[in-house]
Every structure is written in C-alpha cells, then in structure tokens.
Structure 1
Amino acid sequence: MNVRGDGKVKPSETVKLLKDSTRCMVIINADCYSALNTRKKLIIDNHIDPTRELKFIDLLFTFPKHTKHSTIWFHRKWIILRIQQHFSSNDISQWQYEINITRRVAELYPKNYYAWTYRHWILLNIKTDSVQSKSFFVDELKIMKIWVQTNISDYSGFQHLQRCLIRIGQYYDNSFSDFYGISRRDILNKININTQLQNRDLKKNSRSDSIVSLWYKEIQFTKDLILRYPGHESLWYHLRFLSFGWIWLKLSGYLNNSIEYSFNEIDENNNSINSITKKWPELENELEFSRYCINLVNQERSERMVIQKQNALAFELWISELKKKRY
C-alpha cells in the first residue's frame, strides 16, 4: 500500500488514520472485509506489527459474537502463515498459544465451527517427527477426551479428537492414513484386494502395536460413553469412525486374524466395568455390542433410549454391510 499525503495530510498521519479507523470498524463488525484487507496491506508494508495484530484479535475474541465470524479466523490464519517463517513448525510454544486461544473460544461458544476448523489446521501444521510433537498430540487428545465427556453432542469436538488420533498414528508411522480422505468404496476395494493377497504385508513392530493399542482403547472409551450417555448420535458416529479405522488397520497389515492382542489395563479415563466394551473389536463383537444396546432399550422405553435404539440399529446395519464382504 503506497500511502501518500494529499498535500495537506502527511503520509504518517494517513497511516495512523487507516490503522485507527479500520480497528474501530473491525471492533464494530468483525466481518468487514474492506477493513481487514486494508490491515493486511498495512502489515505487508510494515505499518502494523503482525504480532500486535494477533493481540488485537485476541481482544476481539473476548466478544463472544466475534468468535463466530469466519473472516476474523481467516485473518488470523493469514497472519500466522506470514510470520511462520520466524518460528519452526515444531515450535510447540507458539502452536500451544494458538490452541489455548481456540480452547477459550470453545468455552464461549462450544459448537464454534470456525474455531474448531482453525484448531484442526494447527494440528496439521505440526510435524510428526519429534518427541515434542508426540507429547503435544497426546496432551491434546487427553484434553479432548475430557471435553467430549462434558460436551457429548459436540460433533466438532469429536472430529478434533479423531484428528488427534490420526496425528498420533502418523507419529508412530508416517505412512499412516488420514481416514478423512478414505471412502467406503475404498474400504470395499481394499477388502477385495486384501482377500487376494491374504494379508501378506503384516506390519508387526512396537510402533504398529502402539497404534493398535491407541485405537483399541479409544473404542473402549467410546463404547463406555455410549452406555453411560444413551441417545447421543454423535457418540455412535464417533464409534463408526473408529470401527472404520479399525478395519483399515486390519486391511493395511497392522493386525489380522492370527494376531491377538491382550490389554489388561484400559484407558485411565475409562472406568467401565462392563466386559462388553472390552471385547476385541472384530465385526462379530461390534454387532454384539449393538444388540446389547438394543436389549437395554427394550428394558426401558424412555425417549432417549428409543433414540439409542435407532442409533444402534443404524450402526448394526453399517457393520452388517461390511461383514458381507468377509474381510
């Protein structure tokens, strides 16, 4: 932005006027594209310090209504990308600060789609090649497991938890798939290929064991939540994601029918005493869990239990269709 005076106003005064006026405009309306684009140009021309601009956005986020505007989140992402060259992608302190911002915003608006999307983006920008990264992902997973227990119907929260699982898996194995890019057709095709190859490429090492353990414990945790909080569709969709991932683990050679893992300890956050949640998540056992939930509904006809039955039947149908392929 070339700032020139008009003969009466000095360029420095024009810059100050632009900075002050756009700041006021954004405070009043965080969706003001013109004001935010002007501030971007001022940042490019070094008239605004990008780190100070982040502090300004922090201030905006103290107004709950501003946290729901996509434009302000895009503006923040643009600034981070601009200054990212000054800190490593593994500078956990910088990313942790950004996570803390999204956490505070989520408390103001638990189902804030844009805040959660930004939080997903942070995970994707942290490399998986260091112990610090693993520690960050594990801590974030622990935080999310606490979050979903108090926000059972928050689909965005569960989606972020799923992304934490994927990133931890990618730390253990950089070829670990991002399941968000995999469709049911991919699964069915892989089942057919897997039947022909008969699981010849079995991945058996401590890192693959860690991935299987991570997934197994998360399935336990989710089933326990389903039993404790019946009638929440979000939990069943999360279980479907986990079952989908489990099938992919098997088809990718992380485990097969000849392998039996034994975990004597369950997740520290999972206090379930119900053995139905601890069964090895083969398709037969997944169907058994679904039918177990349906039988519980038949004993109690409350509204939430009726919804629980509908969700269990939908899950059973989904599992049954995969089971026909005999992977």
Structure 2
Amino acid sequence: MNYRAWNHRCWLISYMSSRQVLHEFDTSRYWAALHVADSSCFHYRRKLLLQMLADASEQQNAVACSSQLKLLRKLWKDELDWNEMLIRRYIGREALWLHRRFLSVGWLKHFGAIEQNPTEAGEANNHVKVFLDYELSLLQDCLNLPESEFEDVQSQSIHAASYMLRLNWEICSCSSIDLNQKRSVSDLRELLDRLCPEKSIIWDHLTTKLY
C-alpha cells in the first residue's frame, strides 16, 4: 500500500508547477530521514530532481535557465551531503546506497562534466577523479567499521563495495575517461565475492568493462 501511494505521488509530479516540485522536495526530506529503509520516498525524491532538471532545460530564457541550473546544482550537492550523513548514521541501509548511486551519476553527468567537448576532456577527467577519490574515502570508512552486535556492518560493506563497482561501471559506460582504478576494482571484487558470493554473476557484469 505504501508503494502505491508513493507511485501515485510520482505520477502527480508531471502536473506540478516548478514551485510545487521544489516544495515537495523540501517537505519530503523530513519523512525520508525518518524512514531510511524505505526506497519509495527516495525514489520520489529522485523523480522530483529529474523534473527540476527537465524544467530547467525547457527554459527558453538563457538567464532563467542558468539561474535554475545553479539552484539545482546546489540542491543536488546538498542531497549528496545529506545522503552521506544518513549513510554514516544508519548502517547497512540499501535504500540510501541506491539513492547515492543515482545522485553520484547524476552529479557527474549534469554538473561534473562526464561528457565534455574534446578540448575540455582533461578538466573533466580531473573532476571525475577528484570525485571518485572522495567516494573511495567514504568506501574505506564504511569497510573499516568496527564489528557491532547492534549494526549490520557486513551489509554496509557489501552495499559500499557494490556502489563503487556500479559507479565505476556507469562512468565507463558514458565516457572514455581512464579511471586507472584497476587495483581498487580487483580489491572490491574480491571483497564482494567473499561477502556475497551468490551474486557473482552481477559482479562479473560490473567488472567486465573495468579490467
């Protein structure tokens, strides 16, 4: 029933004004923070972000378009920071990692210049590598959590490693950036095979492009 309600709200987004979309994005954050294991609300927030992106791209006035994209960039970065805080606070919640994957790929694609003109390729490469270095730091923190009977540390490790593999795969799928992450990928694959061997087919698929 909860899924159906959120799915209905997703359908309503296309009928909302830009102001209503922004209001929904602001007000749904509190509910999401109280229900971090519920993917439906985070899916709704992703739909809102995509709608704001579409609204900005449809602006015919260049100044208005630039202003909206600037606001959206700030909202996207705030969402990334907020998501990281939730990941560190609530251990082993898959919904948070799924949301981060969307945010990270979207950030690099729309604001971090994954796909750039050839003359800007060097700058794009550097931006992606800086971003990945930060994400690898988050990964290391999640992999080095102390064992606890109250926290699902193993799930956190699986979600974190899987996230990095998928993020690398997504980047390789939409750009020719040389990530030079082969050693990290190998380490992640070894970790995932050990912690979650039943999903080895998925790990095979994600690592094919990275070697």
TM-score by length of 1: 0.47
C-alpha change, 1:315 and 1:283, in structure 2 (3 Å) is farther
SS of 2:32's equivalent in the other structure is helix
2:168 counterpart residue number = 246
For the aligned residue pairs, the C-alpha RMSD in angstroms reads 3.7
Pick from 22, 30, 36 the counterpart of residue 104 of structure 1: 30
Give 1:1-327 correspondences, 5 Å limit: 69-84=2-17, 87=18, 94-127=20-53, 130-171=69-110, 172-173=112-113, 175=115, 204-229=121-146, 231-247=153-169, 249=171, 252-255=175-178, 282-288=181-187, 310-311=194-195, 327=211
TM-score by length of 2: 0.69
- The 8 Å contact of residues 86 and 96 in structure 2, kept in 1 or not, is answered as yes
CA distance in structure 2 between the aligned counterparts of 1:168 and 1:310, rounded to whole angstroms: 31
- The 8 Å contact of residues 286 and 319 in structure 1, kept in 2 or not, is answered as no
Deviation at 1:241, TM superposition (A): 2.9
C-alpha change, 1:317 and 1:223, in structure 2 (3 Å) is farther
C-alpha change, 1:314 and 1:203, in structure 2 (3 Å) is farther
* 4+ runs deviating over 4 angstroms: 288-291, 312-326
CA distance in structure 2 between the aligned counterparts of 1:77 and 1:322, rounded to whole angstroms: 29
- The 8 Å contact of residues 114 and 171 in structure 2, kept in 1 or not, is answered as no
Which AA in structure 2 matches 1:242?
M
Structure 2 unmatched runs, 5+: 58-68, 148-152
Which AA in structure 1 matches 2:123?
S
Percent sequence identity is 14
Which AA in structure 1 matches 2:35?
Y
CA distance in structure 1 between the aligned counterparts of 2:36 and 2:25, rounded to whole angstroms: 14
- The 8 Å contact of residues 97 and 163 in structure 2, kept in 1 or not, is answered as no
CA distance in structure 1 between the aligned counterparts of 2:93 and 2:160, rounded to whole angstroms: 11
C-alpha change, 1:210 and 1:126, in structure 2 (3 Å) is farther
Deviation at 1:283, TM superposition (A): 2.7
SS of 1:218's equivalent in the other structure is helix
SS of 1:116's equivalent in the other structure is helix
- Bigger CA radius of gyration: 1
Q: Which has the higher helix share?
A: 2
Question: How many positions carry a matched residue from both structures?
Answer: 190
